[in-house]
Structure 1
Amino acid sequence: MSLSCPTGQHDKHDVYAAQCPCRGVLDLLANKWAALAIGAMENGPQRFGELQRRLEGVSPKVLTNTLRRLEDAGFVDRTIYPAVPLHVEYALTGLGRSVAEPLAGLRSWVEDNLHRITSL
């Protein structure tokens, strides 16, 4: 994911500006499967099957696409271990760990306040 700033300023971004690259990052992190996958990896590396079981209801295709997007953006590392069958683990990078905490807060807020939300 390339994050070039249209104004040429790399220290100031405005997520409300139409062309701000922040919007792509916000779109990725606001996706329910991305937020849940990051949460599922908070306690350490996970194999694909472990993630799929933890994220009940996610299809293999959607989980694969989500993990690829998170990896491309630098939030997740994918490590392949040579074995039969192939052993692949996904783990949060430093950047992924830094966003895990605010996402955990959002997930907790939703769980705590769901009863107050009148419609979905």
Structure 2
Amino acid sequence: MRILWELRNVPQSFRELQARCDGMSPSVLNTRIKQLKEAQLIAKTTDGYQLTDIGLSLMDTLDPLREWAASWEEAFKLE
């Protein structure tokens, strides 16, 4: 999920993804990228890795969960 989250707005190179994913080891990142490509959630382009239409659809589906988490976090801060 972290990789998908980091790709939600702009394509990222392998190094950019690794840095954004808290320095995930290259072998783990390579494995995850391969899995996400096989699932057709991300694709490699000249700009780096980016979400496919299916990946974007998944992120749209998960957006209400993100909104709920943000509102829960805000309510938790008020207590």
Whether TM exceeds 0.5 here: the answer is yes
RMSD over equivalenced CA pairs, Å: 2.4
What whole-Å deviation, never above 9, does each CA across 1:43-62 have from its counterpart, x for those lacking one? 12110111111111411111
Structure 2 residue matching 1:90: 3-state secondary structure: strand
Name the structure where helix makes up a greater proportion of residues: 2
Cα distance in structure 2, aligned partners of 1:107 and 1:58? 23
Identity over aligned pairs, percent: 33
Cα distance in structure 2, aligned partners of 1:90 and 1:62? 16
Runs of 5+ unmatched residues, structure 2: none
Higher RCO structure, 1 or 2 (CA under 8 Å, sep 6+): 2
TM-score, length basis structure 2: 0.75
2:76 corresponds to 1:112: no
Cα distance in structure 2, aligned partners of 1:63 and 1:105? 27
Residue number in structure 2 paired with 1:97: 56
Runs of 5+ unmatched residues, structure 1: 1-34, 82-87, 116-120
**Cα pair 1:42 1:100 within 8 Å, conserved:** yes
**Among candidates 16, 19, 44, match of residue 78 of structure 1:** 44
Q: Which has the larger radius of gyration?
A: 1
TM-score, length basis structure 1: 0.51
How many residue pairs get aligned? The number is: 73
Change (3 A) 1:55 1:107: farther
